[in-house]
Amino acid sequence: MESALVSRSVGSSFAAGAAAPRGCLPRPSRVATLSRAPARPLRAGPKDSILEVLAQDDMLNAAELVQWENGKSVNSIAASQGIRIRRHCRPTASLKEIEEELGAPHNILEKIIWDKEIEVAEGLAKKPLKEVMEAAAKAPPSRDFYGALEAAYKRNGVPALIAEVKKASPSRGLLRENFNPVEIAKAYEKNGAACLSILTDEKYFQGSFENLEKVRASGVKCPLLCKEFVIDKWQIYNARSKGADAVLLIAAVLPDLDIKYFLRICKELGMTALIEVHDEREMERVLNINGVKLIGINNRSLETFVVDTANTKMLLEKHGDSIREKGILVVGESGLFTPDDVAYVQNAGVSAVLVGESLVKQEDPGRAIAGLFGKELVH
Ligand SMILES: O=P(O)(O)OC[C@@H](O)[C@@H](O)c1c[nH]c2ccccc12
């Protein structure tokens, strides 16, 4: 049986306040109570049973239980899948206390995730899961992100464009002084973008959920990707409630069971999950997960910031056959600046591209699209 890692998601396990013991194991006292009296009888059948259980809205306690029974720390389970990013699982501890236990973060991605753990716990404290779930249920229906990419690729004969509304990034700093997210979004749509990606991380990318809401309310019709560092299901419901049609799930951060669980939640919400990989191991893991329809190959390492478009080619040379067999659509992500770059990743086998910097840095980000593709895109 696989280990349920979902409970390491801070909001779910440790929101009550007390610090979790080392290695992200659930608190023993809490689990002892649970094992005597689970919140609800586990109704799932033997096959896929953990996922069945987790999919029940109030079964977070069961996830804690599963992890406890497994007896492993979530970080050791993640490491066994080749994941280098560790979690601190101590949303109420100070950074100093966290660093005393784990040392300094190993890289920028780990730092972002450590901050995100605290941010999500705070969000959850302000707006409980039940509330974001209700808000998500009331949101206008989601749009078909995957379908929009597929149709645009067929229509234009070049990879469908996911154009990113991106103000800044840790690797490039401020990309655009005069940043109006709605104006940029409208210009992208007018010039043939199939979908839009809206950065919502504030601390590192100067994005916001307000930007997502504003774009959604502006009359833009393109499906919207919420570009976030998702570590907890709360964030997915929250994204849906603010108008997102798709979320990003980063394989360098999320163990398999989290990806499976989050995929299921996306399905229930009618959302597309874009699963991002950067290396061979992540690609192999993701290809072994049922229900994956959209894989993004990031040419930029989120750990070192090194960008290399040959990464897309290399991974597709190795895995293109099984990707095609499974009918998975691939998005080439990051570092694309010229028609040659786009042709290169198209020849490697991508059907869509995700582009931020090279569009957003130009005076007119809409006009920049024709420059990037070497031709006008049509809707
Ligand atoms: O600005 P670029 O190099 O065109 O990249 C866009 C997009 O791929 C990048 O923003 C991105 C890809 N995956 C991410 C994960 C988190 C934050 C950002 C990203």
pLDDT, tens digit (0-9, with 9 covering 90-100), for 85-140: 999 988 888 888 999 999 999 999 999 999 999 999 999 999 999 999 999 999 99
Domain containing residue 346: CATH number: 3.20.20.70
Work out how many domains the chain is built from and give that number.
2
Same domain, 295 and 227: yes
Res 61: pLDDT: 43
- Kind and range of the H or E element at 343? helix 339-348
Distance 347 CA to ligand 1 centre (A): 21
Res 76: pLDDT: 84
Within a domain: 9: no
- Concatenated DSSP letters for 76-109? HHHHHTT--------TTS-HHHHHHHH-S-SSHH
Contact 121, 315 (CB under 8 A): no
Q: Tell me the C-alpha to C-alpha distance, in Å, between residue 352 and each of 33, 37, 254, 259, 373.
A: 49, 49, 23, 22, 12
Phi first, then psi, for residue 184 (nearest 5°) are -65, -45
Closest approach atom of ligand 1 to CA 360: 1
Beta strands in 109-159 (DSSP E): none
Contact 239, 226 (CB under 8 A): yes
Query: Letter for the amino acid at 326?
Result: K
Within a domain: 125: yes
Domain that holds residue 118: 61-134
Q: Which residue's alpha carbon is at the smallest distance from atom 11 of ligand 1? A: 334
Confidence category of residue 6, pLDDT binned at 50, 70, 90: very low
Same domain, 127 and 258: no
357 lines ligand 1 (CB under 6 A): yes
298 lines ligand 1 (CB under 6 A): yes
Among 247, 210, 209, 207, CA closest to 231: 247
Give the residue from 103, 134, 165 where a domain finishes. Answer: 134
Asked if ipTM goes beyond 0.95, one says yes
Catalytic residues, by residue number, are: 164, 166, 227, 276, 298, 333-334
Interval 235-251 mean pLDDT: 98
Within a domain: 15: no
